[in-house]
Amino acid sequence: MRAFICGVKGDRLEAEERAFLREAAPWGVILFRRNIEAPEQVSRLTAEIRDVLGRRAPILVDQEGGRVQRLGPPHWRAYPAPSEGSHSVIGDRAYSRDAARVAVVGRSAAAGLMAGGVAPVMKHIPGHGRARADSHLELPVVEASREDLERVDFAPFKANADLPMAMSAHVVYMHIDTTAPATLSKIVIDDIVRGHIGFDGLLMTDDLSMKALTGSFRQRAERAIGAGCDIALHCNGDLAEARPVAEGAPALAGKALARAEKALECVRRIEAFDVAEATRAFDAAMRAAV
């Protein structure tokens, strides 16, 4: 089992993908809209992935609500954007402009997911809200002082540092490390993520195929792991990119393995979940919030 997560191309595995998964042995597989048609199909795809890997591998999905929602109508309910009416790069993907409110709402969202047997992933640690460039397309640079970042941007993560997983930010913080984005910065990961914030859960990279990063895909994976990320993430299902990411990711071992195992405890220990009651409670909370 290697320290990376990969995507697949479609709604079922191709023969080449089956061979790649068997050989590369990723820790988990992430699904996007291209992989999702209906609940029965998703269940079959999940079972197929786990059968190829020979274990109950984590299946991840990019699901925030609003414009980032891979499980949606008609088979899944539509969820509202977290912060309607805002704009910019993160925009309505954020819970609020107020750091204290973000911390509280983020905690509630994570608790709800874990109650239903889903391990949540905080993102993008240590903070993406000040970015004025889309890291899918270019490298964002944040000029804010460390004092301001600690007071605002880092605060919600610090308040939720005990959560099981987090995703790094492809963002340069000029007053912390001018040489590399957080994903590739040992300074940011050691001093801020593990130090000031105090997060000791499983740290995965943001998607290594994004244009904010440079260098070969193997180099990106190696640099991220070398900086202190536990897991390298590659999303688009292109095996020409995924293979070198897998080559650059080591076997999952040591602290990274321990964090990975601990991160899934909230999934393993779930005993019962009343979907109908949870839906009623969610609807009531949304009505009260309007």
CB atoms within 10 A of CB 39: 11
Q: In what order do the strands lie in the sheet with 121-125?
A: 121-125, 165-168, 202-204
User: Among residues 51, 98, 136, 283, which one is catalytic?
Assistant: 136
136 is known as an active-site residue: yes
Angstrom CA distances, 288 to 84, 99, 197, 266, 283, stand at: 16, 21, 32, 28, 9
The β-bridge partners of 202 are 165
Our answer to whether residue 206 is catalytic in this structure is yes
Exactly one of 153, 206, 207, 230 is catalytic; which is it? 206
Q: Alpha-carbon distance 249 to 225, whole Å?
A: 7
User: Which residues are catalytically annotated?
Assistant: 136, 206
